[in-house]
A and B are shown apart, each in its own frame.
Chain A
Amino acid sequence: MRSPARVRAAKWTALVIVVVVAALVPVFETDPATVNIAVFTAMYVGLATAWNIMGGYTGYVSLGHAAFFGFGAYAFGLVLAHLGIQAGYEPFVFVPVAGALTVVLALVIGWIALRTRAATFVIVTIAMMFMIQLLAENLVGLTGGGSGLSFPVPPWSGDFFDTPFYYAMLVMALVSLAISWWIRRSKFGLGLLAIRDDEDKALAVGVPAHAYKLTAFMISAGLVGMIGAIYGYYVTYIYPQYAIDPLVGISLVLMVFLGGLGTLWGPVLGAVILEPAQLWLAYNFGASRLYLVVYAAVFLVVILLLPRGIVPSVGDLVKRLIARRAIGPSGTASTSSDTHTVARVQSP
């Protein structure tokens, strides 16, 4: 259902403001340590949004997405090494190459994994992830094995270094969001939602479920692979167990669930809350050894209290408040002006 033109204009303005502010973060914030946190946060915004395309819209929960993340990083490093690309801005041009290679991997994995459903699918993705990790460790001639893979190191100064990476991650996050938004409005997206609700019925009414699932999987993986490539370049050295890390895969799923599975902004919210919090907690409380327990406890509380995630739950709450307050067109108008004021500052 299309909302009135005024509301649409308000939404677009808010969005533009958000993007501009996000882009200006490194200008306002000269402390590289904060830009570093911004890099990882933008990274997870992109990762969570990309995962949501598969897990949220299609309903197939993949716990093995870390495989694509690491594969993208390795592919990128190897491409750079084989083509002899020098460090600097040039490598960023080749990120889509890593993405394309990851899409090919997703085609292979997806073709096998998508034959299964529900819980089996979840576990198969985990198994696939470990297989990719093992390949990275054992194909020593190709990947360096346990000794890791090196990336060229840009000669930028400490104060500036993080900034290009932040923009790269921001671009990827925006691209992921754009694709996610476009899918929601398209027939393809409708098909995915139908698959999520009841796959057999969708098949029965003629949705090409297998092709759609595989496509969503490949899109999701390709985006994740590109983000992984930038990550590898940022930390300058990767190892199999850190590039293909189950914890990364679980974190991004948690972010989506926290924010709201299947929503557009839910993954963004989840990433923006969890990643800075996690880095901050580990920095300040890691030493007490109990931070894992605290993390788990917070995790549990949130899941049990807000099982659908923040965005849908808050959305419902607001809906109820509005319904109680005013009835009729005036309700809509006040909503949009509220968001106009509040959404002015946002830094992903």
Chain B
Amino acid sequence: MTLVLEAVVFGILTGGVYALMASGLTLIFGVMRIINVGHGALVILGAYLSFALLRSANIDPFVSLVITMPAMFLLGVVLQLVFIRPLKEDREALSVLVTYAIALGIEGLLGYLFTNNFAQLNAWYETASFAVFGFHIAYVYIFGFGLCLAILAAIFLVLYRTTFGSAVRATMLNRTAAQLVGVNVDRVSAIAFGIGVSTAAAGGVIFGMTNAFNPGSHYDLISRLLTIIVLGGLGSLRGAVIAAVAMLIIEDVTAVVISPVWASFAFFLLLVVVLVVRPQGLYGIRVRERI
């Protein structure tokens, strides 16, 4: 049974990373109603940025966030202004294609700059671990999890305690109504996109410390992230966090109890099961939506 306990603990720790990545994605959807399928590629881009800083200037990955998060924020704002805002009509379907094009572009660029060999973010303390309950947990998982909690808490604080946060939530609820009460939805959208992308950078660092990655890794990542935000309810941050942790726990426990090859299947199966019962996801709201 230690193995199952281990799997649960591990699921929580890695669930935090996915929660962080998914929160950015669901925030972007909530504010702009677009599915950013390039989010996985942005995570990998963040990981590679830290990788480059590590390789050239020997900056510790966690420390590099001080540079990469603001840089990615700016990138996000620029992307939104240049590629997303011009999509006036038919946002959802076209946004998938546009963000996919961005993902491809990022993948190609990363492949050119870094080759397709697998990379990983190494730190001198990465094999240090402490023992608990009969197994060892590496410190990097704890640091990563702590960072996720910190950033998620920051996002919640911003959303619920600041004026800007109120503007964001208003836009998420009803874009037109928000405009009517004076919210500058364009500015809110751009900044929200920037925030989403900078959380991708943070997620990328933590992901990159515990996983091998290469430019092609974004496909697998985005499929999981999309599944998580649907399970949690599109646009709901709380849902994204809970869904992420739940899915990772189920996945890791399945790997131990049944077999690793079925772990991802359990992940998707959970989504299907929930959707049959509750098509809007855990925390989604049933709205009358145009496609």
Quote the shortest CB–CB distance from B118 to chain A (angstroms).
17
Quote the shortest CB–CB distance from A203 to chain B (angstroms).
11
A168-202 interface code vs B (CB 8 A; 1 in, 0 out): 00000000000000000000000000001011100
Q: Are the C-beta atoms of A119 and B97 separated by less than 8 Å? A: no
Q: How large is the interface on B (under 10, 10 to 19, 20 to 34, 35 or more residues)?
A: 35 or more
- Is there a chain A Cβ closer than 8 Å to B35's Cβ? yes
Q: A residues 44-77 with Cβ under 8 Å of B?
A: 59-61, 63
Known: A130-B264, A296-B104, A303-B97. A116 touches B227 (CB 8 A): no
- Is there a chain B Cβ closer than 8 Å to A94's Cβ? no
- Is there a chain B Cβ closer than 8 Å to A93's Cβ? no
- Is there a chain B Cβ closer than 8 Å to A218's Cβ? no
Q: A residues 100-132 with Cβ under 8 Å of B?
A: 112, 115-120, 122-124, 126-128, 130-131
- Is there a chain A Cβ closer than 8 Å to B226's Cβ? yes
Q: Which residue of A lies closest to B277 (CB)?
A: A115
Q: Which of A119, A134, A138, A303 neighbours the largest number of chain B CB atoms within 10 Å of its CB? A: A119
Residues in A whose Cβ lies below 8 Å from that of B161: none
> How many residues on A have C-beta within 8 angstroms of the other chain's C-beta atoms?
47
Residues in A whose Cβ lies below 8 Å from that of B272: 112, 124, 127-128, 131
- Is there a chain A Cβ closer than 8 Å to B157's Cβ? no
Interface of A (DSSP majority class): helix
Q: Are the C-beta atoms of A307 and B94 separated by less than 8 Å? A: yes
Q: A residues 275-330 with Cβ under 8 Å of B?
A: 289-297, 299-300, 303-304, 307
Residues in B whose Cβ lies below 8 Å from that of A294: 108
Q: Are the C-beta atoms of B226 and A123 separated by less than 8 Å? A: yes
- Is there a chain B Cβ closer than 8 Å to A165's Cβ? no
Compute how far the CA of A261 lies from the CA of B89 in the bound complex, rounded to whole angstroms.
13
Residues in B whose Cβ lies below 8 Å from that of A292: 104-105, 107-108, 111
Q: Are the C-beta atoms of A61 and B96 separated by less than 8 Å? A: yes
Residues in A whose Cβ lies below 8 Å from that of B104: 292-293, 295-296, 299
- For A296, give its contact among B89, B92, B105, B279 (CB under 8 Å): B105
Compute how far the CA of A223 lies from the CA of B231 in the bound complex, rounded to whole angstroms.
30
Compute how far the CA of A297 lies from the CA of B101 in the bound complex, rounded to whole angstroms.
7
Query: A149-157, A229-237, A250-258, A335-343: which one contacts chain B?
Result: A250-258
Quote the shortest CB–CB distance from A148 to chain B (angstroms).
16
Q: Which residue of A lies closest to B107 (CB)?
A: A292
- Is there a chain B Cβ closer than 8 Å to A137's Cβ? yes
Residues in A whose Cβ lies below 8 Å from that of B230: 120, 123-124, 127
Residues in A whose Cβ lies below 8 Å from that of B108: 289-296
Quote the shortest CB–CB distance from B101 to chain A (angstroms).
4
Query: B6-14, B164-172, B174-182, B283-291: which one contacts chain A?
Result: B283-291
Known: A122-B35, A134-B265, A303-B98. A293 touches B223 (CB 8 A): no
Compute how far the CA of A135 lies from the CA of B272 in the bound complex, rounded to whole angstroms.
15
Q: Which of B107, B219, B264, B268 neighbours the largest number of chain A CB atoms within 10 Å of its CB? A: B268
Residues in B whose Cβ lies below 8 Å from that of A32: none
- For A115, give its contact among B109, B265, B279 (CB under 8 Å): B279
Q: Are the C-beta atoms of A299 and B97 separated by less than 8 Å? A: yes
Residues in B whose Cβ lies below 8 Å from that of A253: 96-97
Q: Are the C-beta atoms of B290 and A198 separated by less than 8 Å? A: yes
Q: Are the C-beta atoms of B275 and A116 separated by less than 8 Å? A: yes
Known: A120-B279, A250-B100, A307-B87. A127 touches B227 (CB 8 A): yes
Residues in B whose Cβ lies below 8 Å from that of A164: none
- For B35, give its contact among A119, A127, A290 (CB under 8 Å): A119
Compute how far the CA of A138 lies from the CA of B261 in the bound complex, rounded to whole angstroms.
7
Could you list 25 examples of A-B contacts with CB < 8 Å? Answer: A116-B275, A116-B280, A117-B289, A118-B92, A119-B29, A119-B33, A120-B284, A122-B35, A122-B96, A123-B35, A123-B226, A124-B271, A126-B223, A127-B223, A127-B272, A130-B268, A138-B265, A200-B288, A246-B223, A257-B94, A290-B108, A292-B108, A292-B111, A293-B108, A296-B108
Closest 7 pairs (CB-CB, A-B) = A292-B108, A296-B105, A293-B108, A296-B104, A299-B101, A123-B226, A296-B101
